[in-house]
Amino acid sequence: MTEVEVPRPGIRGMGIVAAAVTVVLGLAAGALAAESGHSDEPSAGAGGTTLVLEMGDYHFTPSRITLKPGQTYHLVVRNRGTTEHELMIGRGLVTSGGTHSFRTNFFSGVEVLLKAGEAAAEVEDLGELEVEPGGEASLDFTVPADHQGDWEMACLVPGHYELGMHGTVTVR
């Protein structure tokens, strides 16, 4: 499982942790500060259908996303909150020792092109995407045909799930 952290604007670097190996990709300062309007409606683009998911303090907007199997998506994830948030998508929420995780990871076996500013990296088995306040990243991926049904998206930073920071991803 791969964990990705996207820094807030003005910080150089983005860490991608895969097992015990860390690869640091350089980012221009402030590259994550791009601003654009929010829309719940997907739009078609060169990299597939574009969806925008905004993370605020203890909520996702929109809180429900519908994807089609076999379709390629460009998912833009923005943190509009005042604290770090993360995006995890999975099934079977497990709680142990006060922390949460999913039994099944949506991105397990799925190749994802992660972009933050001018940096990009291909990752497989993306476990979580951590985004600092004001940060933005995008994920390009194709939904596997065997992923049909409901999945949960959640911020599993301690306490955030309990405050309502979760939603639904439906594949049909």
**38 pLDDT higher than 80:** no
Alpha-carbon distances, residue 36 vs 5, 109, 136, 139 (angstroms): 21, 31, 11, 17
Residue 6 pLDDT class (50, 70, 90 cuts): low
Determine the pLDDT at residue 16.
33
For the record, the structure tokens of 154 come out as: 């959640």
User: Which residue type sits at 104?
Assistant: T
**Could you tell me the sign of the dihedral formed by the alpha carbons of 50, 131, 31, 25, in that order?**
negative
Determine the pLDDT at residue 112.
97
Residue with tokens 């199997």: 69
Alpha-carbon distances, residue 31 vs 28, 35, 92 (angstroms): 5, 11, 36
Determine the pLDDT at residue 98.
85
Tens digits of residue pLDDT in 41-90 = 455 545 689 999 999 999 999 999 999 999 999 999 999 999 999 999 99
DSSP 145: G
**Global pTM?**
0.77
Interatomic CA distance for residues 166 and 144, integer angstroms: 22
Interatomic CA distance for residues 150 and 171, integer angstroms: 6
Nearest to 106 by CA among 76, 60, 146, 50: 146
Determine the pLDDT at residue 22.
21
- Which string of b and e fits 32-58 if b means at least 16 CB within 10 Å? beeeeeeeeebeeeeebebbbbbbeeb
Domains defined for the chain, CATH in brackets? 2-28+43-171 (2.60.40.420)
DSSP 139: E
